[in-house]
Amino acid sequence: MKSQGSKDLNVGEKKHTKTRFPIQHWSHSSLTAFLRNPLAWYKRYVEEIYDTPATPSSIVGRAGHVALQHFYGGLGKEPAIALGLEYLRSVSDFEINFGAIKSKRLKKKKREAMEREYLQAVGFYLERPPKHRVLGVEVKAMAKVPGLPLPLKAVSDLVVTSRVEKGAVDIIDHKFVDHFSRRGVEKPLFLIQALFNYYTVQELFGKPVRRFVVYECKKSRNADGSAQLRRHVIDFRSCKEDFTVFHRLIRDATEEIGRRRAYLPNPSDLFEGDNSFDIYRLGLLEE
């Protein structure tokens, strides 16, 4: 089945026009990066410097997404798994944060471990994959929301026919994790991501968006034999207060980036703290 997401569907995305803001739109990753580490955000989303290596875990997760993208796009299990593995092997060493690992031999062993982890994780998911009436795969869209100064942009793993409301759609998100989330749908990051996807999918499909469903697939086998897949459901009908807080957060963040300010590093940032502090120390992004 040819999915709607297979087209170039960046609805509302036009040539950049100069505004008083340093970015043209907000995305879930951009907003969370700004809240976590303003200087690292400035480097990536304003200066558009993408040189920070990714963790092995995140690359395994990306490979899993590639496999599921092709599987739900109509490909069989084995070819989909093979394409995910092909992506994993295409990532060069300099794109991976190996941490303390320096030698070629140990890096090779780590990459072999990443492949085993990927094959195990995607195998867990595809043992009994959730079934959906798929309307779009890897759906990219942008929405201009009344009351918000900048458009919102998001990518939805799947857009499917809703099972709980006729004529509505649900959004499906996949996450390959080391541990299941403790707070589930109450997790703020889930809610923020859900609302980005809500507005963009509503703009693109022109239908009511009912639910945001997160499938967490645990990459390591559970010792007690329990399910490797856990589902979290956000029903937008019960999110009135969350919509209000989300709008306030977007407006406040936009106001922050619209004023003249110093972008400071967050040395405690687990992933980019060291890099952002080095940039600040050397003054590499100073105007």
Q: Give me the residue label for tokens 């031999």.
A: 105
Query: In which region does residue 197 sit, left (phi positive, over 0), alpha (psi from -120 to 50) or beta (all else)?
Result: alpha
Contacts of 83 (CB under 8 A, 6+ apart): 66, 67, 70, 75
- The strand pairing partners of 211, in sequence order, are 170, 235
Tens digit of each residue's pLDDT (9 = 90 or more) over 252-265: 999 999 998 787 77
Tens digit of each residue's pLDDT (9 = 90 or more) over 162-208: 999 999 999 999 999 999 987 665 678 899 999 999 999 999 999 99
Report which listed range, 60-74, 214-228, 258-272, is most confident: 60-74
- pLDDT value for 13: 43
In whole angstroms, what is the distance from residue 4 CA to residue 287 CA?
A: 42
Under 8 Å between Cβ of 35 and 246: no
In whole angstroms, what is the distance from residue 71 CA to residue 73 CA?
A: 5
DSSP string, 207-228: S-EEEEEEEEEESSPPTT---S
- pLDDT value for 1: 42
SS3 112: helix
Instruction: Give all domains of the chain, ordered by start, each with its CATH number.
Output: 1-16+24-50+132-280 (3.90.320), 53-129 (no CATH)
- pLDDT value for 282: 56
Instruction: Provide the 8-state DSSP code for 96.
Output: B
Half-sphere exposure of 19 (CA within 13 A, CB side): 16
Under 8 Å between Cβ of 32 and 192: yes
Tens digit of each residue's pLDDT (9 = 90 or more) over 92-115: 999 999 999 999 999 999 999 999
Q: What is the pTM of this model?
A: 0.86
